[in-house]
């Protein structure tokens, strides 16, 4: 069974790049473009990992993680925050329960290393 990753980003080009790289490595990737859609998708089909943009229109990535961690209907799902250089620090993400932090522009080797460290069963 392939590991499933949910990419949450409101910019289609960002989602497309992440999806392309991850699928080329053998991961199954779902993409959503809003926080409400992400929470709904996680409840319907919990992924193995979430790559979550910090700065989104409706609520930020920290709020999404807080809602995830408080939702008893969701199993624990690892979250890697993806953010621009001028946005909040990694410590803030870890404080709300993030499992990792990647800066934009995304270094794809760093991204894949982080994903593999969280989903180690992938060959």
Q: Which domains does the chain have, with CATH numbers?
A: 1-24+32-51+61-84+96-106 (3.40.50.2300)
pLDDT tens track for 34-80:
999 999 999 999 999 999 998 888 888 889 999 999 999 888 999 99
The CB density around residue 25, as the number of other CB atoms within 10 Å, is 17
pLDDT at 122 over 50: no
The CB density around residue 30, as the number of other CB atoms within 10 Å, is 16
Q: How many helices (H) and strands (E) does the chain have?
A: 5, 5
Distance between CA atoms of 69 and 105, rounded to whole angstroms? 27
**CA Rg value for the chain:** 13
pLDDT at 33 over 70: yes
| Eight-state DSSP code of residue 73 | T
């Amino acid at each position: 069974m392939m590991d499933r990753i949910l990419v949450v980003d409101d910019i289609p080009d960002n989602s497309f790049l992440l999806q392309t790289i991850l699928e080329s490595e053998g991961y199954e990737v779902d993409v959503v473009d809003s926080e409400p859609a992400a929470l709904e998708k996680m409840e319907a089909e919990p992924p193995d990992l979430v790559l979550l943009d910090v700065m989104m229109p409706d609520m930020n990535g920290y709020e999404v993680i807080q809602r995830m961690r408080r939702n008893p209907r969701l199993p624990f799902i690892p979250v890697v925050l993806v953010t621009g250089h001028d946005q909040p620090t990694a410590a803030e993400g870890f404080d709300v329960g993030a499992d990792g932090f990647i800066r934009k522009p995304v270094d794809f080797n760093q991204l894949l290393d982080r994903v593999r460290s969280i989903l180690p069963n992938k060959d």
